[in-house]
Structure 1
Amino acid sequence: MRRRTRQNLVLAAIVALAALAVVLVVQREQAGLGEPLAVVDTANVTRLRVSAGDKPSRAFERRDGQWWMSEPYRMPAHEDAVARLLAIASATPRQRYAADRFEAARIGLSPPQALLEIGRLRLEFGITDAIRGDRYVRTADGIALLPDRFSGWLLAPAESEIDHRLAAPLAAVTDVRIDGQAHPELVAAWNRVTTSQVVAPEAPAAGAVAVELADAQGNRVTFRVWRRDDGRYLALRDAPALVYPLEEPQMQQLLPAAAGAATATR
């Protein structure tokens, strides 16, 4: 009887220890659930830099509450593009490891495939794992496996992260000239026009319409506008050289009738 009692006590102790171990594991997992990759005070971040492979580095800085791209273009930045980059730091890793758990070269971290610097925070990105496609990310605290929903943001062309307003960085257009002629009736349209995307420059077609925008302080932005063979219009900014694709309904509001008709036939 005593032997059976001892056995029952031993079994009970084993069960209790196993239950305690499960509770500790669950608590540890719950404690880590929802913790971001890194804690960033985005309201006070003023500098941001992205580099990936052989692509030009993209640098951003916040001035007077507005984000500007400083490399490779000096232009107002698209606020959504900057917000997406900042959001990477707040993503929740699926797993975390000590920095020495992996050989850096085997997971694409020597050198990193991409680098994101948010203020003083440095995030290095490696390859994706073969099981879930999570990406290895190295921080000052170690290495994390992060669901890869952000690679496209790291690899985005610099042009796509520029303010989509054609008049940027002018605060407000007060003067519009088309082929040298003033057109005050077009000021409102040029103030509000935006493109769906900004792209790398291409050579303008012969006879493109010249557009000059100016603000009250005398700052100027100049474009050449033409119609491509596929029917889409392109506005090429002279400095920096950037192309803003536009649609036919937009061009009907941006050019006087004579210039619009001439552009359509060129």
Structure 2
Amino acid sequence: MKRSHLNIALAVAVAGLGALLWFSREQDEVFPPLTPLAQDAITSIRIDHPEQPPIRLQKQDGRWRLVEPVEAPADEFEVASLVNLATLDIKRSLAVGDVDLAELKLDPPRYRITLNDIELAFGDTEPIEHRRYVRSGEQVALVLDPPSAALDADYSDLVAKALLPDGAEIRRIELPGLTVTREAEGGTWTSPEQPDAEPARIETLVQAWQKVRAMWNAKRPADAGDAGEPVRILLADGELNLRIVEREPQLKIDNPAYGVRYTVSKAELDKLTKLPEPTPSPTPTPSPTATPSTTATAQ
């Protein structure tokens, strides 16, 4: 056989083998999401870690709240990480009877998350693509490992980063060395320590407390006790008792009722603890000097 004919025959054979592999390759199987729940249908979430108190959240009037182990407004961004679990894509699915649950750390699981009444048991990650084993009912799914700290046993990440509830109406703030107050909504702000302070300066401090947000949260140390400087904020429908525990290098404020320590930018320290300096009065513009008349009086 001529060499050119041999090359053509080999090319045809290779092309045929490629076509065979193409048409006979196994197609990727498409799976339904991890749960049948729509994200907006989820109204309750429970997180269970071994030997830790359960963490429970409920959706109330369209907003998420922690209800266990403490009652507190929830961080909507962090809760979204939990809600997103409902529609996670499944990369591979196995029947429970086809796997060793103990080997996959699913018997017992590392932790459980219950969305409404659907329990998801989380196990180990597989070593190649680091996907997480999750048991739901009689299936074990491999999913992309959820990255959020909201899934761990420390609930502090789930507490809202805003130090005051949305729409809170402040009536009085008691700070170390400074108190500001007003008798009723729409009334004039005053300060016993600085009776001459303009209401607008006090309003600036009040707005700073209404808007302040933590950069991150941490669990308040169990031995914190009464450490720090007390801050009492009286609201129209309750009060908050906080404690300033650090001023350097960042501002740290405890909320003992929530068991949370907020880390706030140091740039907020003076805004939250002092009245702003008075606005300087404008310097009056001097009147132009009168020019004597040069017109001689006619004699």
Q: TM-score range by the shorter chain?
A: 0.7 to 0.9
Partner of 2:107: 110
Is the contact made by 1:170 and 1:214 (CA closer than 8 Å) also made in structure 2? no
Unmatched 5+ stretches in structure 1: 1-14, 259-266
Tell me, yes or no, if structure 1 residue 142 matches structure 2 residue 139: yes
Partner of 2:230: 210
Q: 2:255 aligns with which of 237, 243, 250?
A: 237
Partner of 2:180: 182
Distance 1:204 1:169 in 2: 28
Against the structure 1 CA distance between its residues 170 and 72, is the aligned structure 2 distance closer, same or farther, given a 3 Å change threshold? farther
Is the contact made by 1:79 and 1:163 (CA closer than 8 Å) also made in structure 2? yes
Tell me, yes or no, if structure 1 residue 51 matches structure 2 residue 48: yes
- Cα-to-partner distance string for 1:194-248 (whole Å, 9 max, x where unaligned): 1011212243786x4321112223x1001121435x4222212232332112232
Is the contact made by 1:52 and 1:154 (CA closer than 8 Å) also made in structure 2? no
Larger CA Rg, structure 1 vs 2 = 2
Aligned residue pair count: 234
Is the contact made by 2:216 and 2:264 (CA closer than 8 Å) also made in structure 1? no
Distance 1:134 1:125 in 2: 11
Against the structure 1 CA distance between its residues 245 and 181, is the aligned structure 2 distance closer, same or farther, given a 3 Å change threshold? same
Distance 2:148 2:173 in 1: 40
Q: Secondary structure at the match of 1:89?
A: helix
Q: Which amino acid aligns with 1:214?
A: L
Distance 1:123 1:74 in 2: 24
| Aligned sequence identity (%) | 23
Distance 2:257 2:157 in 1: 16
Q: CA deviation at 1:62?
A: 0.9
Q: Which amino acid aligns with 2:179?
A: Q
Q: Which amino acid aligns with 1:137?
A: V
Q: CA deviation at 1:156?
A: 5.5
Is the contact made by 1:167 and 1:173 (CA closer than 8 Å) also made in structure 2? no
Distance 2:68 2:108 in 1: 22
Aligned alpha-carbon RMSD (Å):
2.8
Tell me, yes or no, if structure 1 residue 163 matches structure 2 residue 160: yes
Partner of 1:91: 88
Distance 2:81 2:240 in 1: 28
Partner of 2:60: 63
Q: Secondary structure at the match of 1:105?
A: coil
Against the structure 1 CA distance between its residues 107 and 238, is the aligned structure 2 distance closer, same or farther, given a 3 Å change threshold? closer
Higher helix share: 1
* TM-score of the aligned structures, taking structure 1 as reference length: 0.77
Partner of 1:199: 218
Q: CA deviation at 1:141?
A: 4.5
Against the structure 1 CA distance between its residues 43 and 149, is the aligned structure 2 distance closer, same or farther, given a 3 Å change threshold? closer
Distance 1:172 1:65 in 2: 20
* TM-score of the aligned structures, taking structure 2 as reference length: 0.69
Is the contact made by 1:174 and 1:214 (CA closer than 8 Å) also made in structure 2? yes
Is the contact made by 2:150 and 2:158 (CA closer than 8 Å) also made in structure 1? no
Partner of 1:246: 264
Q: Which amino acid aligns with 2:36?
A: V
Tell me, yes or no, if structure 1 residue 73 matches structure 2 residue 70: yes
Task: Single out whichever of 101-110 and 195-204 deviates more from structure 2.
Answer: 195-204
Tell me, yes or no, if structure 1 residue 220 matches structure 2 residue 218: no
